[in-house]
Structure 1
Amino acid sequence: MPARLGSLAGPDGRIVLALDGGYVRDWREKKRNFELIVGRSLPEDGNPSYIGFVHGYDRKPQRRIVDHLKRQGMQANQDLTFITDGGEEVRSLAELISPCSEHVLDWFHITMRVTVLRQYPQGLVHHDREAGTEILDNLGRIKWLLWHGNSFRAREVIDDLNFDVEALDTGYPNMRKFVTVVSEFQFYIASNEASLINYGERYRCGERISSAFAEATVNAVISKRFAKKQQMQWSPRGAHLLLQMRAQALDGTLCDTFETWYPGMANDNTERGNHPHAA
């Protein structure tokens, strides 16, 4: 395989695919939610494209992702970057897609977790000023180390922080929650260590380090069409089919798909001057 990849002509640029998830209420099991996976891919030279499916309903989600990327010109030796929030289910979708792909933990989700963590030592300061101040300083160090790609040292500081927080004996009322959040952050970073990069260097080179544009996709695809505020209920099949239509509508390819299924539509639209590609 490596020899065959080496003989291929170099592809143009890198394709970045950001994947994120959202939840809708199950129509059959009223108290249950199921997950929708949506994403947006951005070729270096080309138009963005959307993808969406119901996790667990689509039996071959990786094949769907590969087909999606091939439509955007992906080659066997294409440089691919997958950006996700680091969740196990979403992260697994990026595995084994291509030997030339990488998975990047979204910087936005790292900073969001650090921001949540900071709220606890800010409260702790009122009960133990020295301990609270020291923890705030350590959180700043952790964020700085992660930004500069020093994941090994960052994990050491996180491990020390977890030990120190568990050993604290103060009258801080949220101490138990604080211990839990620190432990969860420790596990989160350890689970995604292979996906940590030098974010500062990538940012200075103008490369993407955040899946923020995928989160905008979640809002565009799920929030509006699935009417989250109205608590609409869906079957996995119905949600999956609507996601396919919604993704193609955002891409501007839905009409082409219908014309493939019903060739007469192209002739009718051309005669009426309604074809979207007509001059």
Structure 2
Amino acid sequence: MKKVVRFIAQCIDSDSGDIIEESIMNEKVLSKADTLKGLGYTHIEQIDFLQKIQDFKIKHQIILNTISTCPTCACKTKKVGIFKSKFHAVLTDHRVGVQRTHCNCGWYSPTSVEGLFGSNIHPDLLKKQALQGCKESYEKSSISLNAESANQRPTNGHSQISRVVKLVGEKLEQVKIAIKPINKKSTPELIANIDGGHIKARGDNRSFEAMIATVYKPEKLKRVDKNHTALEAKTIVASAKSDEQTTMKALFKNACITEGMGKDTEVICLADGADNCKSIAYSIEGDCKSMTYILDWFHIAMKFQNISMPETGKELFQSTKWNLWHGNCDKALERLKELMKIEIIAADKSLSVKLNKLSTYISNNTDGIVNYEERKNKGLVFTSNLAESTVNTLINERQKGKQKMLWSREGAHNVLQIRAAVRSESWVKDWKSVEDMVYKLAA
């Protein structure tokens, strides 16, 4: 006995039960699978199956979008032909017949899927393209998405993915900047980490800095083990724009609001002492109870780690670091002066330059240096190594290091909006807002 598997699609009048149209979607004779490849349907067969199913459903569904009443004068409309329009689903592409209608008042209905819904790319595909494009290069994203579809689709081209990332990034920024204060009760305390990362720019040996801020409630910082902590919840924002940090300040303020900032909130900000970090941090002073800026220990420790000290000066060098750890800037600067007077060190121009830079760094940031030992013993945050981790995640994995792509500020900024939303774990909610902005309800 020969067996055949047949899939039939039917469009049925639900009232009468009459079959309006019936079509065989797939029919295949069953045969023994000599290899695993022969078991079930191949990837291409599955995509082909989806193509036919989609075409059948769309053919009958799109009829329901025929506008029979004029939205201008409410008169009955007349049909004026069917127009073929492109529609791109997640895995397949389609030609959709859109019925056009018009009214004697001069009104005409849209003639395309894009005209009806605001776009001819299904939201699920747009979302996939945006996420894929912020994870890897647009070329690789195109290859990955086409591999899923088992077809070279123009809608998955690298230039299209670039346009999608731009669109979604711009909409995300609008969503984040549009946040308004809604907190009935202020969160007592918030921690903010602000840091920057350099991105390779178009041009010879050029780069620009992107700013990143992570805001969280202190109780959300949990200890994993003796040497590691993890954040259970946070809001991350970023900007690569050259606008004197106007966009970053707006995003930072709303990140704090998202985490519960109000007039009774004390905000502790940890950063590396750079002027742009300070400018961003102090921009929220009028929106909270207080804003305390702390030069985080992670960056101080890095300054010391990058200086190789001869045996003669190691004791004074460690004394400098010890005094900083206990918040005593004056003594730390005194120790540095003593250190730079040592003959072997004074004779080393490279080392002297580094020590002078360290002295300047401490002098410029005395207001932000605290007793780190005391904060550590009290279980208070004193370092922003988590911010450094965030910079690595948001920038370095996609826009730095071994990545060969060169960026414009606008391009980098849009990628960062998507990566920040994903990293903040607010992507699902944020995407819904973006979707509402890109697409429209059909009439």
TM-score, normalised to structure 2's length? Answer: 0.50
For residue 64 of structure 1, report the CA deviation from its aligned partner: 1.9
Residues 179-231 of structure 1, C-alpha deviations (whole Å, 9 max, x = no match): 10110000000011100000000001111111100111011111222253123
Contact 2:212/2:238, CA 8 A, preserved across alignment: yes
Deviates most, 202-211 or 10-19:
10-19
More strand, by proportion = 2
**What are the residue-to-residue correspondences of 1:96-111 with 2, within 5 Å?**
96-98=283-285, 100-111=290-301
> 2:190: which partner in 1?
15
1:154 equivalent in structure 2: 332
- 2:389 corresponds to 1:216: yes
Contact conserved, 1:13 with 1:44, CA < 8 A, in 2? no
SS in structure 1 opposite 2:379? Answer: coil
1:1-41 CA-to-partner distances (Å, cap 9, x unmatched) read xxxxxxxx9844321111111111112x2421000112222
AA aligned opposite 2:310: P
Distance 1:223 1:154, change over 3 A: same
Equivalent residues in 2 for 1:124-273, closer than 5 Å: 132=312, 135-162=313-340, 164-165=341-342, 168=343, 170=344, 175-226=348-399, 228-263=401-436
Paired position in structure 1 for 2:303: 113
The one of 35, 41, 47 aligned to 2:209: 35
Correspondent of 1:81 among 240, 245, 268: 268
8 A Cα contact 2:187 2:262, kept in partner? no
What residue in structure 2 maps to residue 125 of structure 1? none
Contact residue 259 and residue 265 of structure 1 kept, 8 A: no
Q: Shift in Å at residue 264 of structure 1?
A: 10
Distance 1:92 1:265 in 2: 34
**Structure 1: segments with no counterpart, 5+ residues:** 1-8, 123-131, 267-279
Question: In structure 1, what is the Cα distance between the partners aligned to 2:437 and 2:328?
Answer: 59
| Structure 1 residue 56: Cα displacement | 2.0
- What is the percent sequence identity of the aligned residues? 25
Q: RCO greater where, 1 or 2, for CA within 8 Å and sep 6 or more?
A: 1
Instruction: Compare 172-181 and 33-42 and name the one that shifted more.
Output: 172-181
Distance in 1, Cα, partners of 2:194 & 2:305: 22
Give, in angstroms, the shift of residue 96 of structure 1: 3.8
Amino acid at match of 2:268: T
Q: Is the 8 A contact 1:76 1:98 kept in 2?
A: no
- Provide closer, same or farther for how the CA distance between residues 221 and 157 of structure 1 changes in structure 2, counting only shifts above 3 A: same
Residues in 1 aligned to 2:206 and 2:309: alpha-carbon distance in whole angstroms: 31
Consecutive aligned runs of 4 or more in structure 1 exceeding 6 Å deviation:
none
From the CA coordinates, give the structure whose radius of gyration is larger.
Answer: 2
Structure 1 residue 235: deviation in Å? Answer: 0.8
**Structure 1 counterpart of 2:363, one-letter code:** A
Aligned to 2:235: 49
Deviation sequence 1:104-127 (CA, Å, 0-9, x none): 11112212222333x2323xxxxx
- Select between 191-200 and 30-39 the one with higher mean Cα deviation: 30-39
8 Å Cα contact 2:196/2:209 also seen in 1: yes
Displacement of 1:246 in angstroms is 0.8
Count of aligned residue pairs for this structure pair: 241
* Residue range with higher mean Cα deviation, 217-226 or 187-196: 217-226
Distance 1:55 1:185, change over 3 A: farther
| 8 Å Cα contact 1:13/1:45 also seen in 2 | no
Q: Amino acid of the residue matched to residue 339 of structure 2?
A: L
Provide Cα deviations, 1:150-178, integer angstroms capped at 9, x if missing partner.
Answer: 2222222223333x14xx2x5x8971101
Equivalent pair of 1:12/1:45 in contact (CA under 8 Å): no
Q: Per the alignment, do residues 238 and 216 of structure 1 end up closer, same or farther by CA in structure 2, a change over 3 Å counting?
A: same
| Aligned counterpart, 1:271 | none
1:55 CA drift (Å) = 5.0
Tell me the SS of whatever aligns to 2:395: helix
SS at 1:260's partner residue? helix
Gaps of 5+ in 2: 1-183, 221-232
Structure 1 length-normalised TM = 0.78
Q: Is the 8 A contact 2:194 2:213 kept in 1?
A: yes
1:277 aligned partner: none
Once residues 181 and 264 of structure 1 are traced to their aligned partners in structure 2, the CA distance between those partners, rounded to angstroms, is: 51
